[in-house]
Amino acid sequence: MSTEIAAPSAAETAPVQTPVQKKVFLKTYGCQMNVYDSDRMSDALAKDGYISTDSVEDADLVLLNTCHIREKAAEKVYSELGRLRDMKKARAADGREMVIGVAGCVAQAEGAEIIRRSPAVDLVVGPQTYHRLPQFLERARAGERVIETEYAIEDKFEHLPMPDKARTRARGVTAFLTVQEGCDKFCTFCVVPYTRGSEVSRPVSQIEAEARRLVEAGVRELTLLGQNVNAWHGLGPDGTEWTLGHLLAHLSDIEGLARLRYTTSHPRDMDDALIAAHRDLPKLMPYLHLPVQSGSDRILKAMNRRHKAADYVALIARIRAVQPDLALSGDFIVGFPGETDEDFEDTLRLIETVGYAQSYSFKYSTRPGTPGADLTDQVPEDVKSERLERLQALLFSQQTAFQRACVGREIDLLIEKPGRLPGQVVGRSPWLQPVIVDAKTSQIGDIIRVRITAAGTNSLHAEVA
Ligand code: SAH
Ligand code: SF4
Ligand code: F3S
């Protein structure tokens, strides 16, 4: 801004009614898509005059972007709302307003229940209605308790504002971009098809425009997001039907964009074009998050995963054949109803066969409304805990082995942010590990060649090669 600041005249120093800038505190739970959504919502709110604040005490609007995937995640929201209720009361006593909104997957799944259980909540907004947030807020501020959970995914993407350039720049050199949302797979344990709706792919032109905007704002690495990102499909500019592999190839032509990733994939949707992309696209990082959940065919069937353990193992072999440097990450659930010791041993065997660099593992959590909730042969909690411990010990040893195997290697590092100590910066390896190296913060956004010198549990140390 180039506004001149002149000495105030007498008239200007008299008290005037200036509109106070409204502040929003946004708290994000759950997966990367919620992170993306929170950024889109805060961009939309910025257009509406809200500035972001890190302090809930300061906020005129508190927005919780919630996750419903496991019981613990959903319950967190209600305890947070309890704390906010007290804060709102104290505020009201001072004559100040505080609007409380719940967004995300709990909002979608339990909108009416939130309104009933938490009287302090003014607004419940489902993931497909974010483009109308400013209107909803207006109604909430006028005293209405708003619940909005309908609409189609397509509407949202047509009407949400593009990422704001200055705000994108402030967020750093990596960014998420939702290309696909919703899920038609209906795994029997999972709430996502109910909270995010049915599978929708955004059109190529929309995705490309957003990707270019992000790159213009300094983004070097893009992670394409979808609940089933590799189910993405759309009409290519060449008039043929594209799948994710084609889209990745198309985006990798964007000048200035250095790296591409995608998550989360389903084994059933790893098609030839996507496998070829891992062979052909230097910008596509050799990292794949491909959840399998269980290594037992019986349990996979009961989960409605629609593939066998051997299919998964064969698929990994095909991908590794074209990209031997691939680091694999996975999700696992222990204690799905009916899981026997033998089923669990099958999962351990699959993990030993495949070898994971990274992983996420969970005890099965019964989710209301899913087919799994109706199954009677639930596994006792202590058995789940014991299995999870064994599973995590195995996965941890694989992760440690992967970390150690990196020592001595020379790799490309994308520098992302300043390190904890002066003179240090932190970047990401191609396999998503944080890497600490001595370099200048002016190099943030650069890709440099480094040699790995030491490995910790999650991060690596390196020197400039
Ligand atoms: N779309 C992804 C997963 C999204 S949910 C996929 O198909 O793999 C992220 C992870 O949460 C899942 O992979 C699963 O491991 C876990 N999860 C989902 N529902 C769960 C439940 N009811 N109990 C425990 N873990 C669950
Ligand atoms: Fe959930 Fe299965 Fe869909 Fe993944 S594929 S989001 S686990 S229903
Ligand atoms: Fe949670 Fe919804 Fe993501 S349930 S994992 S925030 S899609």
Query: How far away, in angstroms, is 189 Cα from ligand 2 center?
Result: 8
Ligand 2 interacting residues, C-beta cut-off 6 A: 183, 185-187, 190, 192-193, 227-228, 266
pLDDT on residue 364: 98
The secondary structure of 48-101 as a DSSP string is TTEEE-S-GGG-SEEEEEE--SSHHHHHHHHHHHHHHHHHHHHHHHTT---EEE
pLDDT on residue 19: 58
Q: Are strands 410-418 and 447-455 parallel, antiparallel or unpaired?
A: antiparallel
Cα(327)–Cα(168) distance, rounded to whole angstroms? Answer: 28
Alpha-helix runs per DSSP H in 323-362: 341-354
Cα(100)–Cα(81) distance, rounded to whole angstroms? Answer: 9
Return the ∠ at Cα 413 (arms to 410 and 419), rounded to 5°.
120
Give residue-wise pLDDT tens across range 148-171.
998 787 789 999 999 999 999 999
Task: Return the closest-CA partner of residue 26 out of 85, 94, 99.
Answer: 99
264 preceded by a cis bond (ω within 30 of 0):
yes
> Would you say residue 7 has pLDDT above 80?
no
> Would you say residue 8 has pLDDT above 50?
no
Give residue-wise pLDDT tens across range 229-266.
999 999 999 999 999 999 999 999 999 999 999 999 99
Q: Are 84 and 124 in contact (CB under 8 A)?
A: no
Cα(185)–Cα(159) distance, rounded to whole angstroms? Answer: 27
Query: How far away, in angstroms, is 80 Cα from ligand 2 center?
Result: 27
Q: Are 115 and 137 in contact (CB under 8 A)?
A: no
The secondary structure of 221-233 as a DSSP string is EEEEE-TTGGG-E
Query: How far away, in angstroms, is 187 Cα from ligand 2 center?
Result: 5
Q: Is 203 exposed, middle or buried (0-12, 13-18, 19+ CB in 10 A)?
A: middle
> Would you say residue 57 has pLDDT above 80?
yes
Confidence of residue 4 (pLDDT cuts 50, 70, 90): very low
Q: Is 12 exposed, middle or buried (0-12, 13-18, 19+ CB in 10 A)?
A: exposed
pLDDT on residue 11: 42
In the predicted model, what is the mean pLDDT of residues 2-8?
38
Name the pTM for this structure: 0.94
Query: How far away, in angstroms, is 278 Cα from ligand 1 center?
Result: 25
Among 15-24, 123-132, 286-295, 325-334, the minimum mean pLDDT is found in 15-24
Please state, rounded to an integer, the average pLDDT across all residues of the chain: 94
In the predicted model, what is the mean pLDDT of residues 17-41?
89
Return the ∠ at Cα 102 (arms to 62 and 50), rounded to 5°.
35
Strand ranges in 108-251 using DSSP code E only, listed in sequence order? 123-125, 146-148, 174-178, 180-181, 200-201, 221-225, 233-235, 241-243
Cα(403)–Cα(454) distance, rounded to whole angstroms? Answer: 9
Cα(443)–Cα(440) distance, rounded to whole angstroms? Answer: 5
pLDDT on residue 151: 78
Cα(389)–Cα(392) distance, rounded to whole angstroms? Answer: 5
Atom of ligand 2 nearest to the CA of 184: 3
Query: How far away, in angstroms, is 104 Cα from ligand 3 center?
Result: 8
Ligand 2 atom 5, closest CA = 185
> Would you say residue 88 has pLDDT above 80?
yes
How far, in Å, are 70, 189, 386, 389 from residue 363 at the CA level? 9, 11, 10, 10
Ligand 1 interacting residues, C-beta cut-off 6 A: 69-70, 189-190, 192, 227-228, 264, 266, 291, 293, 331, 333, 362, 364-365, 367
Confidence of residue 21 (pLDDT cuts 50, 70, 90): confident
Cα(191)–Cα(194) distance, rounded to whole angstroms? Answer: 5
In the predicted model, what is the mean pLDDT of residues 379-396?
98
Task: Return the closest-CA partner of residue 249 out of 224, 219, 268.
Answer: 224
Cα(252)–Cα(248) distance, rounded to whole angstroms? Answer: 6
> Would you say residue 5 has pLDDT above 60?
no
> Would you say residue 10 has pLDDT above 90?
no
> Would you say residue 459 has pLDDT above 90?
yes
Main-chain phi, psi angles of 100, to 5 degrees: -115, 125
Other Cβ atoms closer than 10 A to 259: 21
Ligand 3 atom 6, closest CA = 67
Cα(314)–Cα(267) distance, rounded to whole angstroms? Answer: 11
Query: How far away, in angstroms, is 266 Cα from ligand 3 center?
Result: 16
Give the 3-state secondary structure percentages of the chain, helix then strand then coil, rounded to 5: 40, 20, 35
Among 33, 35, 76, 181, the mutation site with the greatest number of ligand 3 atoms within 8 A of its Cβ is 33
Atom of ligand 1 nearest to the CA of 187: 7
Task: Return the closest-CA partner of residue 364 out of 177, 189, 180, 151.
Answer: 189
In the predicted model, what is the mean pLDDT of residues 381-396?
98
Ligand 1 atom 1, closest CA = 227
Ligand 1 atom 11, closest CA = 69
Query: How far away, in angstroms, is 215 Cα from ligand 2 center?
Result: 30
Nearest listed ligand to the Cα of residue 193: 2
Ligand 1 atom 18, closest CA = 190
In the predicted model, what is the mean pLDDT of residues 97-122?
95
In the predicted model, what is the mean pLDDT of residues 196-211?
96
Query: How far away, in angstroms, is 172 Cα from ligand 3 center?
Result: 23
pLDDT on residue 155: 81
Query: How far away, in angstroms, is 190 Cα from ligand 1 center?
Result: 6
